[in-house]
Chains A and B, each alone.
Chain A
Amino acid sequence: EAGVTQFPSHSVIEKGQTVTLRCDPISGHDNLYWYRRVMGKEIKFLLHFVKESKQDESGMPNNRFLAERTGGTYSTLKVQPAELEDSGVYFCASSQDYRGEQYFGPGTRLTVT
């Protein structure tokens, strides 16, 4: 069984540009989560999808971040326009049900210069 995959593994962009991160959850997992780790800080929750619906987006930092989950399958996280403080590692996780183990992807390292 394939695990959670994320693309790209690393992205370097300039301030003001747009970047889109993609997450493919484990097949059949209705729950999809995005987290972010800024260097030196803890991993922080961004948002939670149940199928294609946003269940909880309380962790989204501001309206420059837009997350979508097309047809309840893969998800994208767009940052537009990117700022320096958006640099960090973005993790995606999926789980079969809301109490189930969250399986994490390897993360996307975003560097904004």
Chain B
Amino acid sequence: AQSVTQPDIHITVSEGASLELRCNYSYGATPYLFWYVQSPGQGLQLLLKYFSGDTLVQGIKGIEAEFKRSQSSFNLRKPSVHWSDAAEYFCAVATPGGGNKLTFGTGTQLKVEL
């Protein structure tokens, strides 16, 4: 069965600093890969997704993620964090042909210091 690991439960960065959130997955082939964000009181919002092709994916809010097959990773990066980026971030995978049901990591809570 596939699984997703987000090793950092909490991360604190200063506003303006760069951000990298780690995600590793376990699956026999290349799954579909996603990053979602949840702000307080809101539903999960899709930031970006990877199905195939270019391994560097651009998303909304200036975010990008890079798929590295050799490391089974899909890390999210943002060059400069804003206070409004404080939220919980989830990495997720889906099995191609598997109905698109998502398997999530445990989430990373991002705190931004002003």
Contact = CB atoms under 8 A, between A and B. Distances in A.
Interface size class of B (residues with CB under 8 A): 20 to 34
B107 A107 contact: no
B105 to A, nearest CB: 6
A56 interface: yes
A12 B101 CA distance: 28
Interface residues of A, number: 27
Which label, helix, strand, loop or mixed, suits the secondary structure of the B interface? strand
Contact of B99 (A56, A105, A107): A56
B44 interface: yes
B17 interface: no
B100 A31 contact: yes
B56 interface: no
B102 A35 contact: yes
B43 A56 contact: no
Interface in A70-107: 91, 93, 95, 98-107
Contacts of B100: 31, 48, 95, 98-100, 102
